[in-house]
């Protein structure tokens, strides 16, 4: 029989061992694969298919409007699900095959069919993001609360997930251009690349399903009470939870920033440096601050808590942006500032899922139900909304700087204008700076963490009384 792991600093029982963290984190593979692939669509659509950058940006944003609806519906579906294998867990198995299809279909836009290409791009993006991503992300994030009530373990789970997610981002960033060039440097090369990621993602998602356990699976009267909460009623509950609102705003800003800083260096390399391969250099260099970030985030959380860790990360990110802004044409300063910016993202993406999850306890305190699925739908929502806005910003800002005309003239430094330079600098420095500052300001209104241990104990008492009465 396995040895008990003891209690965390808040007195909550711990349940997770290294193998649990590892198999759980593999579920992030598919989510980040979709994020990475959709994040590169602006580059793919404009350079490989010939679509206009501003129109592509609009297509990507429209797809995120669909996402906003599907996230809430999926959250409600998870809250109503009650099977022998759990509430959230069965959805991971159901989405294994759709995940593979989503990764491939993104790049199968037909050529030479006029406006239909934009419709096809919209449909496949909606399928990948609004349907497949949502049906994985919402139950996957929600499952964290069914595995443990320990904030310490939630933080570690978030760190492991972030590490795997980041590894996928780095692998795509480093390998995308060389691999697609080796495969033919055409549209079919991107289809093949998507198929490779699709197979790996599907395997990892199945492993996560196979080795997951839902310990705090709501049952009986409590599950029935939560299932009766309608979508509109659930939305009202969430909007009355100021901590959920704050963390949702933090998540949107963080994902806008993260989506931009992951993709924008591609245009810095191809436009400012006249060297698309510089993007691989950026991602290779960023491995070092990222590894350091994952090794030190546990220390940050123990010393400053989840909220304090996020605040300090914003300060570091601001410094990195300022370094880039000081000498925008200097590639060394660009890399140095980028290292600090990338390091700052690691604590943020590590603590946000746990901080969002914890706000469900406020729902229980005020309304007698956690509506965990709907609460955690925001993790999926903010990721897609922030990433979508970030991706759209890239298209709009480049279009405003004359990127389409630049491509039409054959690109190259000889055709580089001051307006296009400004657009690239804005994407790589100014927009990330604004997002770091916004996150820092939002977090000043978040004082929930210090109240949480007492609220959890009170909720457990309330829940026990309700179950005893059969309510």
**Over the stretch 239-249, which tens digit does the pLDDT of each residue have?**
899 999 899 89
User: Which range is least confidently modeled, 46-50, 75-79, 259-263, 336-340?
Assistant: 46-50
Q: Is the model's pLDDT at 1 over the cut of 50?
A: no
Mean pLDDT of 48-54: 77
Mean pLDDT of 143-153: 81
- Higher-scoring residue by pLDDT: 195, 66: 195
Q: Is the model's pLDDT at 188 over the cut of 70?
A: yes
* CA gap 6, 240 in Å, rounded: 35
Mean pLDDT of 455-466: 78
Mean pLDDT of 321-346: 94
Q: Do the Cβ atoms of 294 and 166 come closer than 8 Å? A: yes
Q: How many helices (H) and strands (E) does the chain have?
A: 22, 0
Q: Is the model's pLDDT at 57 over the cut of 50?
A: yes
38: which 2 tokens?
Answer: 């959709």
Q: Do the Cβ atoms of 91 and 143 come closer than 8 Å? A: no
Q: Is the model's pLDDT at 471 over the cut of 60?
A: no
Mean pLDDT of 357-374: 82
| Percent of residues, the chain, with pLDDT higher than 90 | 27
Task: Give the 3-state secondary structure of residue 27.
Answer: coil
Q: Which residues lie below 8 Å from residue 112, measured CB to CB, with a gap of 6+? A: none
pLDDT given at position 353: 81
pLDDT given at position 2: 47
* CA gap 71, 376 in Å, rounded: 9
* pLDDT digit string, tens, across residues 59-75: 777 777 777 678 878 88
* pLDDT digit string, tens, across residues 218-234: 555 556 666 677 778 88
- Of the candidates 393, 403, 416, 103, the one whose C-alpha atom is nearest the C-alpha of residue 264 is 393
Q: Is the model's pLDDT at 322 over the cut of 50?
A: yes
181: which 2 tokens?
Answer: 């060039």
pLDDT band of residue 10 (cuts 50, 70, 90) is: low
- Can you give the C-alpha Rg of the chain in angstroms? 22
71-100 burial: b if 16+ Cβ within 10 Å, else e: bbebbbbbbebbeebbbbbbbbeebbebbb
* CA gap 261, 64 in Å, rounded: 19
Distance, first Cα to last Cα, the chain: 35
Helix axes 96-105, 187-211, angle to 10 degrees: 160
Place of tokens 């699709």: 198
pLDDT given at position 321: 96
* CA gap 261, 366 in Å, rounded: 38
Q: Is the model's pLDDT at 84 over the cut of 90?
A: no
- Of the candidates 301, 255, 241, the one whose C-alpha atom is nearest the C-alpha of residue 446 is 241
pLDDT given at position 445: 84
pTM of the model: 0.71
pLDDT given at position 405: 82
pLDDT band of residue 105 (cuts 50, 70, 90) is: very high
pLDDT given at position 143: 87
101: which 2 tokens?
Answer: 């299809």
Q: Which residues lie below 8 Å from residue 254, measured CB to CB, with a gap of 6+? A: 345, 348, 349, 352, 382, 386, 435, 439
* CA gap 378, 368 in Å, rounded: 20
pLDDT given at position 246: 92
Q: Do the Cβ atoms of 57 and 391 come closer than 8 Å? A: yes
Place of tokens 């965390």: 8
- Higher-scoring residue by pLDDT: 58, 411: 58
- Please give the backbone phi and psi of residue 50, each rounded to the nearest 5 degrees, phi first: 85, 25
285: which 2 tokens?
Answer: 């260099």
Mean pLDDT of 324-334: 93
Q: Where are the domains of the chain?
A: 18-469
For the four alpha carbons of 272, 424, 48 and 412, in that order, the dihedral sign comes to negative
- Tell whether domain 18-469 is in CATH 3.40.50.300: no
- Higher-scoring residue by pLDDT: 426, 51: 426
Distance of CA 206 to the CA centre of its chain: 20
Distance of CA 127 to the CA centre of its chain: 17
* CA gap 316, 78 in Å, rounded: 37
Instruction: Compute the mean pLDDT over every residue in the chain, rounded to the nearest whole number.
Output: 84
Task: Give the 3-state secondary structure of residue 213.
Answer: coil
* pLDDT digit string, tens, across residues 406-444: 877 776 777 778 888 999 999 999 999 999 999 999 998
Q: Do the Cβ atoms of 109 and 119 come closer than 8 Å? A: no
Q: Is the model's pLDDT at 384 over the cut of 70?
A: no
| Percent of residues, the chain, with pLDDT higher than 70 | 92
Cα→Cα distances 75→26, 135, 246, 260, 368, Å: 21, 9, 19, 27, 18
pLDDT band of residue 3 (cuts 50, 70, 90) is: low
Residue 450 CB coordination number (10 Å) = 9
Q: Is the model's pLDDT at 38 over the cut of 90?
A: no
Highest mean pLDDT of the ranges 5-9, 53-57, 293-297: 293-297
* CA gap 297, 313 in Å, rounded: 10
Residue 388 CB coordination number (10 Å) = 26
Task: Give the 3-state secondary structure of residue 83.
Answer: strand
Cα→Cα distances 384→61, 258, 332, 350, Å: 10, 11, 32, 17
């Amino acid at each position: 029989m396995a040895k008990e792991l003891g209690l965390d600093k808040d007195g909550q029982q711990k349940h997770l061992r290294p193998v649990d963290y590892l198999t759980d984190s593999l579920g992030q593979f598919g989510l980040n694969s979709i994020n990475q692939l959709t994040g590169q669509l602006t580059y793919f659509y404009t350079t490989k298919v010939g679509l206009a950058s501003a129109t592509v940006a609009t297509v990507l944003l429209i797809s995120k409007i669909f996402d906003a609806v599907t996230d809430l519906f999926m959250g409600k579906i998870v809250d109503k699900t009650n099977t022998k294998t759990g509430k959230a867990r069965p959805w991971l198995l159901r989405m294994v095959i759709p995940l593979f299809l989503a990764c491939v279909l993104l790049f199968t836009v037909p050529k030479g069919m006029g406006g239909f290409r934009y419709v096809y791009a919209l449909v496949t993006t909606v399928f990948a993001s609004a349907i497949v991503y949502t049906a994985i992300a919402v139950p996957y994030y929600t499952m964290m609360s069914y595995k443990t009530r320990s904030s310490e373990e939630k933080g570690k789970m978030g760190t492991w997930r972030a590490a795997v997610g980041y590894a996928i981002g780095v692998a795509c960033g480093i390998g995308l251009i060389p691999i697609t060039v080796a495969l033919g440097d055409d549209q079919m090369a991107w289809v093949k690349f998507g198929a490779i990621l699709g197979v790996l993602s599907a395997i990892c998602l199945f492993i996560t399903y196979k080795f997951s356990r839902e310990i705090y699976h709501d049952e009986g009267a409590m599950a029935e009470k939560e299932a009766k909460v309608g979508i509109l009623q659930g939305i009202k509950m969430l909007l009355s939870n100021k901590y959920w609102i704050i963390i949702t705003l933090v998540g949107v800003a963080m994902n806008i920033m993260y989506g931009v800083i992951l993709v924008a260096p591609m245009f810095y390399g191809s436009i400012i440096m006249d060297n698309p391969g510089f993007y691989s250099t950026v991602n290779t260099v960023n491995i070092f601050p990222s590894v350091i970030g994952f090794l030190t985030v546990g220390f940050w959380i123990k010393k400053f808590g989840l909220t304090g860790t996020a605040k300090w990360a914003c300060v570091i990110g601001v410094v990195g942006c300022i370094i880039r802004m000081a000498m925008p044409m200097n590639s060394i300063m660009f890399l140095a500032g980028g290292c600090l910016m990338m390091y700052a993202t690691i604590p943020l993406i590590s603590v946000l899922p746990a901080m969002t999850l914890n706000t469900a306890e406020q729902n229980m305190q005020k309304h007698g139900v956690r509506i965990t699925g709907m609460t955690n739908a925001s993790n999926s929502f903010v990721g897609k909304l922030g990433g979508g806005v970030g991706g759209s910003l890239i298209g709009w800002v480049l279009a405003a700087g004359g990127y389409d005309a630049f491509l039409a003239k054959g690109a190259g430094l000889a055709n580089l204008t001051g307006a296009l330079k400004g657009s690239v600098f804005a994407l790589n420095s100014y927009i990330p700076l604004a997002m770091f500052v916004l996150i820092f300001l939002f977090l000043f209104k978040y004082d929930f963490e210090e109240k949480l241990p007492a609220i959890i104990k009170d909720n457990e008492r309330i829940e026990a009384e309700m179950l005893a009465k059969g309510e």
